[in-house]
Amino acid sequence: MLKCLEPKLKSYKKNDYIFSLGDSFTGVGVMLEGKAVVLNQRASGDRDVISVLSPGDVFGEIVAFSELAYWPNTVQAFENCKVLLIPKSRISGECSKVCPWHRSLIENFLKLLSEKALVLNKKVQFLAIKGIREKAATYLYEKYKEIGSKDILLNLNRNDLADFLSVSRPSMSRELCKLRDEGIIDFHLNSFKILNPEALKLINQL
């Protein structure tokens, strides 16, 4: 597929902007090493973390199959990383070599689009929750169900978690400390332990 797609390999340092809002869209990115975050930057200067990109993750595929000619979000390196950039024309266009793998590639992209739509739907659900305590509890309980373990290691630091939940970090930290004092959770940095899953589940149902 490399000869067919003609990708470019690029390296970025921590905090470098891989793409900024409004940049011309030239292709899809694949994270090879390191991590990056996809951000929604508002006119007020505030930002929301839409997703965290780890090795193997793809970004920009939604734009590749649309008529949009620019990046709708900002992609910033969370740490030193390497990215494989695949030209848009090589993904959504016809394969001149009638490559049998090209069809599989497009099918995989469509699957990714469906999965991203589900993630965005989950993001909307978090935004609809009004209380900070309820947002934090719901997020941790969803992670607990997702990985099937009481020990959770988040790929977001405290600032990025607050951005993802669209709350202030001090307020979120205060609510997390309350949950710890109540014996519902315990945590250190981005490592959490769910002590009482049922109590965590009930918080957003009260």
Same structural domain for residues 110 and 199? no
45 pLDDT higher than 80: no
Cα(198)–Cα(191) distance, integer angstroms: 20
Give residue-wise pLDDT tens across range 77-132: 999 999 999 988 877 666 666 667 777 887 888 888 888 788 777 778 877 888 99
Domain end: 125, 152, 182, which one? 125
Give start and end residues of each alpha helix (H) in the chain.
2-5, 61-64, 88-92, 100-128, 132-147, 158-165, 169-181, 197-203
Which residue, of 97, 125, 153, is where some domain finishes? 125
98 and 139 housed in the same domain: no
Which CATH number is 159's domain given?
A: 1.10.10.10
Check residue 29 and give its pLDDT: 94
Residues 138, 109 share a domain:
no
Q: Give the rounded percent of residues in the chain with a pLDDT score beyond 90.
A: 48
Same domain, 151 and 67: no
Single pTM value for the model = 0.60
